């Protein structure tokens, strides 16, 4: 099949609404994840008063979520499907962050457990997100007959990078608005109510929002089996035509 022109590719991309919804969901996930990561140093320095715990916090946020979620995803997808797995991961992440929101200043062990739960939920969500992205490629081909996986993956990756950048900057903006002064011990105690809690409040809203978006994706691709079957039939017909011409 000839390479589609840029105009045709953009028209195909424009009609793929589940892809745009998934991109917005990915933006929310990455903003929430990187907002928490960026505020971790402030949390251990001014709330826990122990910067030595920063390494522990980073390991819980990154290593635990990756190691624990990776083996869970294949089984969950096989049992309940990709969209439901995405929703469960989003719900688990939301519950973990809400628990961390309430107990992080009172009990460090419970806060670490809550952060681990949230990390696992985020890991599940971000892992299955790539499988959903592949489905949007198939969905676009089903609608238009044009397959543009390169452009689709590019848009999705660009959206993820935007989420990382925005999420990493959120704590800085909140700190600036709260009147934070670096190395000022006199104000440290009052800052817990500004950057950390506000960051987690924003994160909670984002988690709910991307859960709703994933539900929209599920409703838009509810006839996926029919779509994949039709695409497979098209490919078989194309292969048969090529075989007839060459022979």
Reduced to 3 states (helix: H, G, I; strand: E, B; else coil), residue 222 is coil
Residue 77, token pair as written in the block: 């997808």
> What pLDDT, in 10s, does the model give residues 123-176?
898 888 888 888 888 888 877 878 888 889 999 999 999 988 988 887 777 777
36 against 219, higher pLDDT: 36
- Mean pLDDT lowest for which of 59-63, 76-80, 122-126, 213-217? 213-217
**Cα dist from 96 to 29, 52, 101, 159, 224, whole Å:** 14, 23, 9, 25, 32
User: Could you tell me the end-to-end alpha-carbon distance of the chain, in angstroms, rounded to an integer?
Assistant: 18
Mean pLDDT on 33-42? 81
What does the alpha-carbon distance between residue 33 and residue 224 come to, in Å, rounded to a whole number?
Answer: 30
The full 3-state SS of 95-130, as one line of letters, equals: HHHHHHHHHCCCCHHHHHHHHHHHHHHHHHHHHHHH
Cα–Cα dist 70/62, whole Å: 12
The string of pLDDT tens digits covering residues 185-242 is 544 444 444 445 445 555 555 555 555 555 555 555 555 555 555 656 656 655 655 5
**28 Cβ partners below 8 Å, 6+ apart?**
163, 206, 207, 209, 210, 213
Six-digit token string for 244: 């007839």
Give the pLDDT confidence score for residue 193 in this predicted structure. Answer: 45
Q: For the domain bounded by 6-170+192-221, which CATH number is listed?
A: 1.20.1250.20
Selected residue with higher pLDDT from 236 and 71: 71
Between 115 and 214, whose confidence is greater?
115
Mean pLDDT of 101-109: 79
Residues sharing a CB contact under 8 Å with residue 220, sequence separation 6 or more, in sequence order: 17, 18, 21, 139
Q: Which residues of 204-233 are buried (b: 16+ CB within 10 A; e: fewer)?
A: bebbebbbebbbebbebbeebeebeeebee
> What are the backbone dihedrals phi and psi of residue 69, each rounded to the nearest 5 degrees, phi first?
-80, -30
Instruction: Tell whether the model's pLDDT for residue 72 goes beyond 70.
Output: yes
Asked if residues 57 and 44 have their Cβ atoms less than 8 Å apart, the reply is yes
């Amino acid at each position: 099949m000839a390479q589609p022109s840029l105009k045709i590719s953009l028209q195909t991309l424009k009609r793929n609404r589940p892809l745009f919804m998934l991109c917005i969901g990915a933006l929310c996930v990455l903003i929430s994840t990187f907002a928490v990561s960026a505020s971790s140093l402030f949390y251990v320095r001014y709330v826990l008063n122990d910067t030595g715990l920063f390494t522990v916090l980073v390991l819980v946020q990154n290593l635990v979520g990756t190691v624990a979620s990776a083996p869970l995803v294949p089984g969950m997808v096989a049992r309940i499907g990709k969209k439901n797995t995405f929703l469960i991961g989003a719900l688990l992440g939301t519950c973990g962050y809400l628990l961390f929101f309430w107990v992080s200043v009172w009990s460090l062990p419970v806060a670490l457990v809550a952060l681990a739960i949230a990390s696992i939920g985020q890991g599940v969500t971000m892992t299955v997100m790539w499988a959903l992205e592949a489905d949007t490629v198939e969905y676009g081909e089903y609608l238009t007959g044009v397959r543009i996986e390169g452009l689709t993956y590019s848009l999705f990756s660009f959206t993820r990078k935007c989420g990382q950048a925005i999420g990493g900057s959120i704590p800085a903006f909140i700190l600036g608005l709260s009147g934070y002064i670096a190395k000022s011990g006199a104000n440290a105690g009052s800052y817990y109510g500004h950057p950390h809690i506000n960051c987690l409040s924003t994160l909670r809203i984002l988690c709910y929002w991307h859960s709703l978006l994933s539900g929209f994706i599920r409703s838009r691709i509810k006839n996926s089996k029919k779509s994949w079957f039709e695409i497979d039939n098209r490919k078989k017909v194309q292969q048969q035509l090529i075989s007839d011409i060459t022979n």
